[in-house]
Amino acid sequence: MGVSLALQLMVASTTRRTGMERIWDPEPVSRVGPFWDVVEGRSAPPSAATTLGFELVTVDPEAGSIEVAFTATDQFLNPVGVIQGGFLAAMLDDTLGPALAAVLEPEQFAPTTDLHVQFLRPARPGRLLGYGRIVRRGRDVAFLAGELRDETGTIVAVATATAQIRQLQR
């Protein structure tokens, strides 16, 4: 799946680029920690993910990318009959965050400190696919980007985010 022009333009303002290459040099990923506990059934998924109908489609920690699906129900509709933007923003946050969570150490978490969403087209109830990736990761901060597509493959919203990498306090 190629990166849309709108997403490329959004990412260009948050990262330096060399041609079309991604600035991401991943370390080997351990398959332990909160994200992997949910994926492997050792922990229940977060309530917000359940509400959104979250489903993990694919995750590639080495590439820093993820594909997820959501089930948008009639309960998400605004008065004009399309999915309310806050639900789309939550879906994008729940796409970008797990792309990063998949590569964190078990004792780390990364709350979103900034989420910028652009709504491109109305979204209707049904399956929505989220594609997220790590644009750049430092020791304490990560920059993320992604898009949300409807069942026809049309991009309905794009987002960039910043997340602060922190140590879990147990």
d(CA 111, CA 163): 5
* Residue 75's CATH number: 3.10.129.10
Structural domain of 16: 5-167
Q: What is the pLDDT of residue 71?
A: 98
How much is the pLDDT for 26? 55
Q: How many domains does the chain have?
A: 1
User: Of 59, 57, 60, 89, whose CA–CA distance to 72 is shortest?
Assistant: 89
Q: What confidence tens digit (pLDDT) does each residue in 130-160 have?
A: 999 999 999 999 999 999 999 999 999 999 9
**Segments of the chain scoring below 50 in pLDDT:** 1-24
